[in-house]
Amino acid sequence: MKFIDEFRDGDLAKGLAAAIRQAARIDRDYHFMEFCGGHTHAISRYGVSDLLPRQVRMIHGPGCPVCVLPVGRIDMAIRLAREAGVIVCSYGDPLRVPASGGLSLLKAKAALGRSVSSGGGTSARGDIRMIYSSADALSIAQRNPDDQVVFLAIGFETTTPPTAVVIKQAQALGLKNFSVLCCHVLTPSAIASILESPEVRQWGTVPLDGFVGPAHVSTIIGTRPYEFFAEEYRKPVVIAGFEPLDVMQAILMLIRQVNAGRAVVENEFSRAVTRDGNRKAQQLVAEVFELRRSFAWRGLGELPYSALRIRREFAGFDAEQRFSIHYEAVADHPACECGAILRGVKRPQQCRIFGTVCTPENPIGSCMVSSEGACAAHYSFGRFADLTAAQ
């Protein structure tokens, strides 16, 4: 554990905090967005915000794949299980995201179980199962050759290569009962939307001086894709790891760039990230997937070329085509502020149902469900000290 301990060293943290206080000018404010939910949780868990001067504000971004998945996509998976009688496989967090009609995948699973026990019809053959990897879904299909199995594939660029792998494996095995409901989305599109898209102005705008760039995503795509934002929008980007000292070092690097009037991409997470990323993974993704023209994000609306779909060569493994199922937009709960929180316009504590009606045990919005959600981070780690400032 020595390597990890080095990135959680208290004395080093004090030194970085002092360097940040010294670098931050008292005559200006700094607004930095940590895009990834992993960074949000690191900041909350280790109290990084408490170590920053008042003029340095961290803003939560939409870097949680569960949080940005719209209600209509969850509804699609539920319909596949209830109406098409398939076995839907999903990671744990999406199971609890609220969907239409007071349902979630978890509640729909319970209802399917009751239907089976009471002697329901053919629609009761469907099931919803939690898995830990895309390979688990493929194994379920192999063990149940008489049932159709659909993998609800979500995530940013990090989890896309494993999905491509299982699609190619299913093709090589000649499986006819396996398909993928593809909901993979792309990080650069979300950043572009936050910076310029008029469709999300309904939530308001927030000043941004720079970004703490995602860690895991960047191991795949590298730092090169962020160079456009630094050059075009004059916003510095620092790719950072998830340990508290990683985040603090990235904040210091951003402050120094802003003070110097620079806007470039810097790589704090050089122990895992390169400029070009994992080219083999990129080639695999390009072989199996192509860009969608448009995709709906929770809180950001319909974004052009912001997600992936399965290529024609692998169309037999596309659940949307196999079952002729289509996305239908569904409004979020009217009291939920997830959209504004994902855009960074509001903090979790500014939602009127945060911590009262909406809790991890009874989530109303996806930001409270996911292990990377901003609301879950603030609730779980009790960082309520900035409540007055947020209001």
Buried b / exposed e over 160-195, threshold 16 CB at 10 Å, is bbbbbbbbeebeeeebebbbbbbbbbbbbbbbbbbe
- Across residues 375-379, what is the average pLDDT? 91
Any domain includes 142: yes
H helix runs in 123-208, sequence order: 134-143, 160-173, 187-196
pLDDT over threshold 90, residue 154? yes
The pLDDT value recorded for residue 2 is 61
Contact 221, 279 (CB under 8 A): no
The tokens of 84 are what?
Answer: 């098409």
SS3 of residue 303 by DSSP: strand
Read out DSSP for 346-374?
S-GGGSTTBTTTBBTTB-SSHHHHSTT-H
Enumerate residues 6+ apart whose C-beta is below 8 A from 297.
62, 68, 70, 185, 190, 193, 303, 306
- Across residues 118-137, what is the average pLDDT? 75
Any domain includes 318: yes
389 pLDDT tier (thresholds 50, 70, 90): very low
Q: Are 154 and 101 contained in the same domain? A: yes
Any domain includes 329: no
Q: Are 134 and 36 contained in the same domain? A: no
* CB-count burial class (<10 Å; 0-12, 13-18, 19+) for 348: buried
Q: Supply the CATH number for residue 137's domain.
A: 3.40.50.11740
Any domain includes 330: no
Q: Are 174 and 243 contained in the same domain? A: no
346 pLDDT tier (thresholds 50, 70, 90): confident
The pLDDT value recorded for residue 332 is 85
Contact 6, 239 (CB under 8 A): no
Could you say which of 262, 289, 322 is where a domain stops?
Answer: 322
- Across residues 144-167, what is the average pLDDT? 97
Q: Are 95 and 150 contained in the same domain? A: yes
Enumerate residues 6+ apart whose C-beta is below 8 A from 237.
210, 211, 213, 223, 226, 229, 230, 264, 265, 266
Rounded Cα–Cα distance for residues 188 and 161 (Å): 17
351 pLDDT tier (thresholds 50, 70, 90): very high
The pLDDT value recorded for residue 204 is 53
Q: Are 231 and 362 contained in the same domain? A: yes
User: Which among 206, 210, 204, 192 is positioned nearest to 339, based on CA atoms?
Assistant: 204
Beta-strand relationship, 149-155 and 87-90: parallel
Q: Are 108 and 53 contained in the same domain? A: no
Alpha-carbon separation of residue 131 from 135, 140, 300, 305, 361 (angstroms): 9, 10, 28, 28, 21
Q: Supply the CATH number for residue 357's domain.
A: 3.40.50.11750
Any idea which of 130-144, 184-198, 207-221 has the lowest mean pLDDT?
184-198
195 pLDDT tier (thresholds 50, 70, 90): confident
Enumerate residues 6+ apart whose C-beta is below 8 A from 259.
23, 25
Q: Are 172 and 202 contained in the same domain? A: no
pLDDT per residue as tens digits for the range 308-317: 999 999 999 9
Q: Are 123 and 172 contained in the same domain? A: yes
Q: Are 148 and 249 contained in the same domain? A: no
Q: Which domain holds residue 305?
A: 71-184+278-322
Q: What is the average pLDDT value for the chain, to the nearest integer?
A: 89
- Across residues 101-119, what is the average pLDDT? 77
pLDDT over threshold 60, residue 118? no
Any domain includes 328: no
pLDDT over threshold 60, residue 387? no
Quick one: what percent of the chain has pLDDT higher than 90? 71
Enumerate residues 6+ apart whose C-beta is below 8 A from 283.
none
pLDDT per residue as tens digits for the range 273-294: 999 999 999 999 999 999 999 9
Query: What does the CA dihedral 171, 137, 295, 207 come to, rounded to 10 degrees?
Result: -130
pLDDT over threshold 50, residue 362? yes
The pLDDT value recorded for residue 381 is 86
Any domain includes 166: yes
193 pLDDT tier (thresholds 50, 70, 90): confident
Q: Total structural domains in the chain? A: 2
Any domain includes 363: yes
Rounded Cα–Cα distance for residues 210 and 238 (Å): 8
Could you say which of 268, 300, 322 is where a domain stops?
Answer: 322
pLDDT over threshold 50, residue 43? yes
Q: Are 82 and 209 contained in the same domain? A: no
- Across residues 81-85, what is the average pLDDT? 94
For the chain, how many residues are written?
Answer: 391
pLDDT over threshold 80, residue 55? yes
Q: Are 223 and 111 contained in the same domain? A: no
Q: Are 272 and 377 contained in the same domain? A: yes
Computed from CA positions of residues 189, 191, 194, 198, in that sequence, does the dihedral angle turn out positive or negative? negative
Any domain includes 331: no
